[in-house]
Structures are given as C-alpha cells and as structure tokens.
Structure 1
C-alpha cells in the first residue's frame, strides 16, 4: 500500500452536510419542506431567530387550517375579517422586525462613531503633544541663545571696562599664568563659569571603602598571610673589628648607653 500526504487538513475539505433526495406524495405537504430555504451556514444549525420563524410558520399553518370555507355569505365575511386581522398582525410583526434591525444598525453605528471619535482623540492628543514638544525645543533653544548672547555681552562690557582710557593692552599670558589669582586659575562666576557645581565629581566613591559591608567583603578577599605578620628582630651590628678597634658608631652607642644609665 502507498500512503499520501496532503497540505490540507480534513476540515478544509469538508463540504456541506449531505441532503438526500426526497419524493413528496400527492396531496400532502410535509412540514419539513417549510425549512427548505434554510441551509448550512444560512439558518442551520438553528438558533433562537430560526426557532421563532418555525413557530410562526406553524401558527400560520394552523390558522390557514382554521379558515372557514367560502360556502355562505357569513363564512365569507368571517373569512375576510380573519384575513384582515392576520394581515394587520403580519404588518405589526414586520414593523417590529424593522425596529429591531434599526436598533441593531444604530448600535453598530454608535460603536463605529465611538471608535472613530476615540481614534480621532488619540490623533489630536498626539498632535498636541508633538506641537508642545516642538514649542519646548524652540523655547530651550531660544533660552540658550539668550544666555550665549548675555555671556558675550558681559565679556564685551568687561573688556570695555578694562580699557576705560582708550589704551589698548595686549594680553600677557605669562603674567596670567604666573598670578594664581588671575581668571585663568579662578574664573569669575559672572561670566558663566561655576567651578563648585561639580566639586564632588572627582571624589573617590568606593563601595569597599565607604561601607561596612564592603570592608567585610574586602577583608574576606584578603589572604590569611597578610594578617600573619612576621617581624624579624634586627641583628646587632658588629662594632669591633678583628684587630680590636672599636668603630665610631660603637663608641657613640656606648656613650648613649652611659647617658641612659
């Protein structure tokens, strides 16, 4: 035997349920034929709306069976009254169905309008936010330009103040670097320099040195040989030579010993 493999599963190859052929005997109208317009996916499997339609069809068949024959004027008048009542009932039912459909359509339209309004509100909020961001950027750029112009104007005023008598002086770089109180070492804050703002920028901040937990961890990482100190006593210096001569350092040590005694 040979096996075949397909790219489609069984559910994709399934067709509508099979409806067998039927033969209606003469003179009979089966009730099931009233549902011939219902097919799979269009009314089947039956729901609440389809059950209401089936009940109405049954009521109408029972009403048609209860109509009086047209064999006398009284029966004809009665039949006309029953037909008029049924027609009014049918019109009332149709109006009710139309009202239901209109309500459903209105609800769908309301949801669509609400969704469109929400989307429009989101777009408006995003547009306003973008405009606000652009205004903020323009404002910050304008403020930076004003600050730059202010610093430039202040420098010009300071330069003019130094040259009140109209005497031009060339900058003496050697003198500025030789004088530790010059703006080279201590620039003025009014020209836009603030050295104390970041005074702690270069400070050493170490977890192992500033916290107790860091010190404990650092102590654990150190070898035991570091804590076991071995101090060797210094050997006494030989102050007497082989010939019996006492060196000067030896004589000084002897003098110091006598002084302490």
Structure 2
C-alpha cells in the first residue's frame, strides 16, 4: 500500500508529516537531500539555527566545487591550503557553538541556583517564624502563670490582712445572707462552685409560648379590649376665656401660623 497523509487526523494520533519516497538519478546530488537528517520537531519547521546550518552546507558545497584538481604539485599545495583554512574555520565555528552552549547552560544553572536559594530562604523564614511562634506561646503561658500566681498571692495577703491578730472567727450566717455578694449568693468558681452549670432548669417552658397552637389558644382567651385598640380623637382646646378674650397662647399660635404662611 502507498503511504498517504490526510488533513483530517486526530491530534493525539498525529504522526510525523508524510515524506514520499524519491529516486535519485545517477551522477546528480540534489541539494534537498542535505536536509534529509532534519525531522519534525528536530530542525523542522526550520528556525534560525536550521537556516544557518543550511547556509553553511551551501557554502561548503560551493567550496568543494571550487577546489582545484590534484593534477599538479601547485594545485595539490593550493588544495591543502584551502582545506586547512576550511578546517580552521570549522573549528572556530565549533568553538562558537560550544561557547554558546556553555552560556546557555550557565544561564540555566544560575536560574536553578537562584530558585534553590529562594526556596532555601523561604524554608529558613518559615522555620524562624515557627520558632518565634513557639517562643511567643511559651512566653504567653509563662505570663499567664505569673498572673495567676500573683492573683493567688494577693488573695492570700488580703485574707491574712483581715485577720492580723490570728484570731479564730466563727461563721456569721446572718451577715453572709444579708450581703448579696457573699458566698451563698455568688459562689466563686475557683472553689468548685458553678452556678450556671444547670441553668437550663431555670428556663421558662410554657405551652402557650412554645407552640403555635398555644399562641392561638392564648390569643382566643384574650378579651376584645386588648385586641381592638380604640383611639379617641383629641378635643379642640378652648382658646376663648369666659370673659370673651382670646388666650395669650392662642394669639401666639395664630401669629406663628401667619408667619409660616
């Protein structure tokens, strides 16, 4: 079967572009065959480097055509001289290519080193931040402990100051129950009393307030005087006295009304 190539191919199944078979006539070397080493993705489509290589191949073909024949000693010497010059030129070109590759590798190496240094600096910054956070947490815990110990010692000093002589005092129950800030009314949580522990038992639970049916029943039990609001219109104020004179406040209101108009 003959090899064919179509434009309607799936991108994932696309192979290298089709190159038809060719036959070279005897004694001829087509210039196109110098590009046989180039393939798709490796030189094709041709870029700047591929074009420079093509130009060098053309120059070399022209140089080979210009070589003198080896029929005399002078032509042989001239041919050797031209070949030495071409060899020096090729070596110089190779050195340029090597330097170019070295420069590209150096740039890549610089980027890799810079990226590695950046990652290392980020890692060091993260470690320092974690270390600082741990120190801050330890410091806060120590400060909290110092404050707790300070409050404890102050309470002990206050208790000692109340009883400087060291006399034993009996509990005065009447005094405790008359003082609403005492232990029976407001127990301290630090001695194990939590007044709000069972606060749910004090919540008011009413059928009339917690359900819709209860609200309807409560509304039906209310008298009409509560549900129907009656507003009485205010009576006009009497601005004339018993003797037939207009009150002073009424005169002021009339003057203000005229000014407003």
State the TM-score, normalized to the length of structure 2.
0.65
Residues in 1 aligned to 2:102 and 2:173: alpha-carbon distance in whole angstroms: 91
Q: 1:83 to 1:184 in 2, by over 3 A?
A: farther
Residues in 2 aligned to 1:83 and 1:132: alpha-carbon distance in whole angstroms: 72
Match of 1:13, SS state, is coil
Partner of 1:230: 232
Partner of 1:76: 76
Residues in 1 aligned to 2:46 and 2:132: alpha-carbon distance in whole angstroms: 57
Partner of 2:33: 33
Residues in 2 aligned to 1:66 and 1:174: alpha-carbon distance in whole angstroms: 132
Please state how far the C-alpha of 1:162 moved relative to its aligned partner: 2.1
Residues in 2 aligned to 1:83 and 1:170: alpha-carbon distance in whole angstroms: 125
**CA-to-partner distance for each residue in 1:43-95, whole Å, 9 max, x for gaps?**
11111110000000000111111111111111111111111111111010000
Q: 1:133 to 1:90 in 2, by over 3 A?
A: same
Residues in 2 aligned to 1:98 and 1:105: alpha-carbon distance in whole angstroms: 10
Partner of 2:122: 122
- Structure 1 position 19 matched with structure 2 position 19: yes
Q: Which has the higher contact order (CA 8 A, sep 6+)?
A: 1
Partner of 2:51: 51
Residues in 2 aligned to 1:20 and 1:64: alpha-carbon distance in whole angstroms: 29
Q: 1:171 to 1:125 in 2, by over 3 A?
A: farther
> CA RMSD for the aligned pairs?
2.7
Please state how far the C-alpha of 1:169 moved relative to its aligned partner: 2.5
Q: 1:81 to 1:57 in 2, by over 3 A?
A: same
Over 4 Å off, 4+ runs:
179-185
Match of 1:10, SS state, is coil
**CA-to-partner distance for each residue in 1:84-108, whole Å, 9 max, x for gaps?**
1111110100000000101111111
- Structure 1 position 67 matched with structure 2 position 67: yes
Partner of 2:96: 96
Q: 1:232 to 1:129 in 2, by over 3 A?
A: same
Q: 1:74 to 1:136 in 2, by over 3 A?
A: same
Q: 1:179 to 1:14 in 2, by over 3 A?
A: closer
**CA-to-partner distance for each residue in 1:5-37, whole Å, 9 max, x for gaps?**
xxxx71122221111111111111111111111
Partner of 2:156: 156
Partner of 2:169: 169
Partner of 1:196: none
